[in-house]
Structure 1
Amino acid sequence: MNKTLLIIGAGVEACEGIEIAQQMGLKLIIADGNPEAPGFTMAHHRLVVSTYDAEAIALQAWELVQKGISIDGVISMCADVPISVATVAQKLALPGLSMESAQLVADKLLMKQRLQQKGIAIPRFKAVASTTDLIVFAEETGLPFIIKPVDSRGARGVQLLDKIEQFESAFLFAQKESPTGRVMVEEYLEGPQISTETLIEDGRCYTLGFADRNYEWLPLTKPYMIENGGDSPSALDPAQRLDVIQTVEKAALALGITSGVAKGDMVLTSNGAKVIEIAGRLSGGYFSTTHIPLNCGVNFIQQALRLALGEKLDAKELVPKQNCGVAIRYLNLKPGLVKSITGIEDAQQSEGVEMLSIYIQKGDSVLGLQNHTQRTGFVMTKAETKNQAIQLAVAALSKIRVQYDD
């Protein structure tokens, strides 16, 4: 394929997606603020610039074009930077998110307002500017409810509040985690939570990613909303899955995502499926790069790259070929200073293990979990069934032993 793709993001999680782009024969321009980012090893041209600096990325891309280097598409890889992608697409007249859609998915308050206007099922929500606003919301909706930054990511600042005594500290923490200092609250929805991932071509949706999210840690991590992985196939019945899929696809289109990828965070309530958030990008956490292909046999990244290049999808390639059990689980470690870690090789060689990554080493400090970026390692397993995959993941992680300094 004699085309050039600009990929924004070159971190560890992006590497699998970048490798797929390389295998497709694409020439790669890669942008990342870390000059040592591992994905740069596969780049034909490196742009060492923050993934959040939309104007700088667009300018450097435009300068390459002026030098005779064609750019046929732009996509972010495991990086939540819709404004950067849309800015490049707009400047170079490339396929992808419109600036309006990018602004909607980058700002959770604007997103909820648009979804509400379009009649999409969502939790009750409100912008808040003080703890007094929290008290008013609690009187209106009751406890518990969610407080979150309007424009952060990775669950930073997201908290589940069930006591009035938490309000002041929770508001200040959420405000600190927002780049613009803005905070919102929303109703806490009871019910199974689901991650989805959808390819969209000219308004036609193909939701291939569908996994049950695992919040078994919540009683221990509250008020922080820390997910311990997820698993497929979903435990939901066919009618429930259809409800979730139809709702997330309507939500993506309501946000103007008519070509590209939409990632959905969903809840199936007693009143049907509701949208927590929609992102106009590929997911992180190896969901799009690894989990989806292991589950259904479709190379999701390859199809997303074709959309980014303005190519037509082949419907035959989007038909699931299998429905295997896949699970991801994270290490559950107590806080402390790491003295030693053993058992990693045994865990890697365990039955069903497809991926295992440990983020800590001797001398590192394990922190109490406040957001997803602080998790210390994970395993992904594949098996014939979902429950078998979960059991294999738990068994593999049990072989890892961490000792702490006194």
Structure 2
Amino acid sequence: MTNTVLILGANSLQLPLIEKANELGYKTLVVSPVTDEPGHEIATYSEACDVVDEEGVLKLAKKYDICGIITDQTDLPVRTMAYVANQLGLPGNDYEVAKIFTDKYLMREKCKEIGVKTVEYKMCKTLEEANAFYDGLNRDVILKPVDNQGSKGVYKVSSRAELEKRFLEAIKYSRSGSVLVEEYIVGREFVVEGIAVNYEYENLCCGDTDYFDIPDVFSATKREFPSIADPKIINKVLDINKKIAKGFGFKQGITHGEYILDGQDVILLEIAGRGGGVFISSDLIHLQTGLETEEFLLGVATGKINKIPDFSWQNKSCCYISFFLRQGEVVEIRGMKEVIDLPYTYHNNFETLKVGQTIKTNSDKTSRFFVIIEADNHDKLMERREHIKELLTVKIKNDVGIIDGIIWE
């Protein structure tokens, strides 16, 4: 066995993991279907392969005689990661467990099995099934492709006519041809990050989620840690998250759970068997707890870490803030360098924003731009957020003329 670690995914969100592996002396085999993603440029070895192609990735793992396989901040490779680890006898989660963490229907079913309250739901493969469930429920529903990510194909539905239109759109985003139809509830939302080693599990941090006011774009404008909710509610969320992670059989790595408060009940929206995207895993966990996330992930993937590492609260506030752009052509960008150079900003994806770029309809969270910020407390964090909003300007040219292009809320 060589000192080569296989990393699934090569976009900007996987760069911290690839960079840390290089720094620690591993040879890095980076695999993704898009060869111009930046992770390929800094890898020891680069291979083009779909990250959901389990047999294709297994073939590459054998070719390079890897010592571990890992991904972060993306759902798509989670099953492949478990499959390859299981086939080669490497550290990893069980494949059946990985299926639960990447299938919204299986999450709901497992919640019922372990005694965690959930919403009314039905997995539907046909419009007729969806109509029957909707008629019986007699309230608004939300449609979710069971096995997709990035909020693609997710729609809120308030009428039969709307259901018939949106169901056919949602099912296109499901690789298995299934859509989860469930009751739509409104309430305060939370996000929880946690870690596991050899089935021992610890919560790391709980945060608050604020959403854009854009129809059918279920995307956060801000995720802030720590939560500023009542401590009793936070503890309830943390207890449910730990029960779910352990009840689902999560063996190792990081989880990213999203929850909603429905009256007095904490309801799971979804939980992922990887760290939170938008640099939650690489930046916000570290800012909150001091944990070196990438080093931890590499350690459990290669069998070098066999117990929960020490971490401690850092007594500060941090968040990501994000924005969309209006449709049209980007004709001017001001303040980007100033924002990047601020002493309290960290990772961002501003490298994807360029003059001359054409901005299309914002249909899901993948078209956001974002940056990580930190402060000593919540109030100071909000001041810094407003300062960034004042600094950054993007002008868009469309049929109306040249307009302010940024959508912050």
- In the superposition, the TM-score normalised over structure 1's length comes to 0.90
1:161 corresponds, among 157, 161, 166, to 157
Give the corresponding residue for 1:195: 191
In the alignment, structure 2 segments of 5+ residues that lack a partner are 402-409
Q: How many residues align?
A: 395
SS at match of 1:10: coil
CA deviations 1:301-342 (Å, max 9, x no partner) are: 222222212233565x43224121112111243222222222
Alignment partners' CA distance in 2, 1:61 and 1:255: 27
Aligned 8 A contact 2:199 2:252 in 1: yes
Aligned 8 A contact 1:211 1:233 in 2: yes
Aligned 8 A contact 2:4 2:64 in 1: no
Change (3 A) 1:309 1:203: same
Alignment partners' CA distance in 2, 1:160 and 1:373: 18
Q: How does 1:96-107 map to 2 (within 5 A)?
A: 96-107=92-103
Q: CA RMSD in A?
A: 2.1
Change (3 A) 1:280 1:32: same
Equivalent pairs: percent with the same residue? 25
Alignment partners' CA distance in 1, 2:307 and 2:125: 48
230-239 or 286-295, which moves further after superposition?
Answer: 230-239
Give the corresponding residue for 1:353: 345
Alignment partners' CA distance in 1, 2:138 and 2:312: 42
Residue 229 of structure 2 corresponds to residue 229 of structure 1: no
Give the corresponding residue for 1:255: 248
CA deviations 1:234-292 (Å, max 9, x no partner) are: 01232222211221122122222122222211123323322111211222210000111
382-391 or 54-63, which moves further after superposition?
Answer: 382-391
Letter paired with 1:249 = K
Q: How does 1:36-185 map to 2 (within 5 A)?
A: 36-65=36-65, 71-80=66-75, 81-185=77-181
Alignment partners' CA distance in 2, 1:54 and 1:386: 43
Alignment partners' CA distance in 1, 2:194 and 2:187: 22
1:3 offset after TM fit, Å? 4.0
Aligned 8 A contact 2:12 2:349 in 1: no
Aligned 8 A contact 1:352 1:389 in 2: no
CA deviations 1:134-161 (Å, max 9, x no partner) are: 4443444343321111111100011222
Change (3 A) 1:297 1:187: same
SS at match of 1:231: strand
1:230 offset after TM fit, Å? 0.5
SS at match of 1:275: strand
Residue 391 of structure 2 corresponds to residue 391 of structure 1: no
Give the corresponding residue for 1:26: 26
Residue 342 of structure 2 corresponds to residue 334 of structure 1: no
Alignment partners' CA distance in 2, 1:309 and 1:79: 20
Alignment partners' CA distance in 1, 2:390 and 2:132: 45
SS at match of 1:87: helix
Give the corresponding residue for 2:201: 205
Letter paired with 1:63 = K
Alignment partners' CA distance in 2, 1:263 and 1:395: 29
Alignment partners' CA distance in 2, 1:166 and 1:254: 36
2:371 corresponds, among 370, 379, 383, to 379
In the alignment, structure 1 segments of 5+ residues that lack a partner are 66-70
Letter paired with 1:303 = F
Alignment partners' CA distance in 1, 2:123 and 2:256: 23
55-64 or 319-328, which moves further after superposition?
Answer: 319-328
Alignment partners' CA distance in 2, 1:393 and 1:355: 15
Aligned 8 A contact 1:123 1:276 in 2: no
SS at match of 2:233: helix
Letter paired with 1:146 = I
Give the corresponding residue for 1:68: none
Give the corresponding residue for 1:283: 276
Residue 295 of structure 2 corresponds to residue 299 of structure 1: no
Give the corresponding residue for 2:266: 273
Alignment partners' CA distance in 1, 2:68 and 2:88: 9
1:365 offset after TM fit, Å? 2.1
SS at match of 2:349: strand
Aligned 8 A contact 1:350 1:396 in 2: no
Alignment partners' CA distance in 1, 2:172 and 2:37: 27
Aligned 8 A contact 1:161 1:223 in 2: no
1:27 offset after TM fit, Å? 2.6
135-144 or 38-47, which moves further after superposition?
Answer: 135-144
Alignment partners' CA distance in 1, 2:44 and 2:331: 41
1:350 offset after TM fit, Å? 4.1
CA deviations 1:111-170 (Å, max 9, x no partner) are: 221221221222221112444444443444343321111111100011222344421221
Alignment partners' CA distance in 2, 1:83 and 1:94: 14
